[in-house]
C-alpha cells in the first residue's frame, strides 16, 4: 500500500492471474506481471490466499477498477525497498544506506526515502 493509505481502502484481491504450477502442497505459482514482481510480490501463494474469480456485475457496481484506488502500473524507475541499514551525515545532508529487495544497496538522501514506511520504522528503532 502507498504510505498514508488506509487498509480499509485496500483491495482484497488485485485481479485474476493464471496458475502456472501446482506444487501439490496447497501452494500455487501464479503468472504475475512484472510491475508486481518489481514491487517485491512473490509469485507463490498458499491456497487459502487464493479465490476463484467472479466477474464484477458492472450494472450494479459500475466503474469498480483497481486503478481508481491506486495505480500498480506506475512503477517506472521505482525499486522495492527491503530495509534501511544505516545512516550518516555527509556534507550537511542526512544519508541512509538502503537495501533493496533485489539485494543491491545504495546511499540515498533523506528526501528521497522520507515517504517510505521502512524509513519511519528505522528512525523509530534508532530513537531519532
CATH number at residue 98: 2.40.50
Are both 25 and 63 inside the same structural domain? yes
Decide if 2 is inside a domain: no
Alpha carbon separation from 79 to 34, 38, 118 (Å, rounded):
12, 6, 13
**Under the phi-then-psi rule, with left for phi > 0, alpha for psi from -120 to 50, and beta for the rest, what region is 60?**
alpha
Are both 64 and 91 inside the same structural domain? no
Decide if 18 is inside a domain: yes
Number of domains in the chain: 2
Categorize the per-residue pLDDT at 65 as very low, low, confident or very high, splitting at 50, 70 and 90. Answer: low
CA distance 40 to 43: 9
Decide if 73 is inside a domain: no
Are both 24 and 59 inside the same structural domain? yes
Percentage of the chain lying above the pLDDT 90 cut:
23
Are both 35 and 58 inside the same structural domain? yes
- Containing structural domain, residue 97: 81-126
Are both 53 and 99 inside the same structural domain? no
- Please say if the pLDDT value at position 44 is more than 80: yes
Of 1-5, 10-14, 55-59, 71-75, the poorest mean pLDDT is in 71-75
Are both 23 and 64 inside the same structural domain? yes
The residue with greater pLDDT, 71 or 101, is 101
- Count other Cβ atoms within 10 Å, centred on residue 98: 23
Confidence (pLDDT) at 102: 73
Give every CB contact of residue 2 below 8 A, 6+ residues apart in sequence. Answer: 70
- Please say if the pLDDT value at position 47 is more than 70: yes
Are both 85 and 61 inside the same structural domain? no
**This model's pTM is above 0.75:** no
Are both 49 and 89 inside the same structural domain? no
- Please say if the pLDDT value at position 62 is more than 80: no
Amino acid at each position: 500500500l502507498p504510505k498514508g493509505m488506509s487498509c480499509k481502502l485496500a483491495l482484497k484481491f488485485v485481479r485474476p492471474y493464471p496458475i502456472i504450477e501446482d506444487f501439490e502442497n496447497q501452494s500455487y505459482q501464479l503468472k504475475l506481471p512484472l510491475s508486481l514482481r518489481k514491487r517485491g510480490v512473490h509469485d507463490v501463494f498458499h491456497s487459502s490466499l487464493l479465490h476463484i474469480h467472479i466477474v464484477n456485475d458492472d450494472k450494479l457496481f459500475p466503474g469498480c477498477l483497481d486503478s481508481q484506488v491506486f495505480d500498480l502500473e506506475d512503477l517506472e524507475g521505482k525499486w522495492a525497498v527491503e530495509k534501511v541499514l544505516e545512516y550518516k551525515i555527509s556534507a550537511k545532508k542526512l544519508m541512509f544506506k538502503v537495501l533493496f529487495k533485489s539485494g543491491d544497496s545504495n546511499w540515498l538522501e533523506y528526501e528521497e526515502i522520507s515517504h517510505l514506511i521502512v524509513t519511519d520504522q528505522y528512525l523509530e528503532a534508532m530513537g531519532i
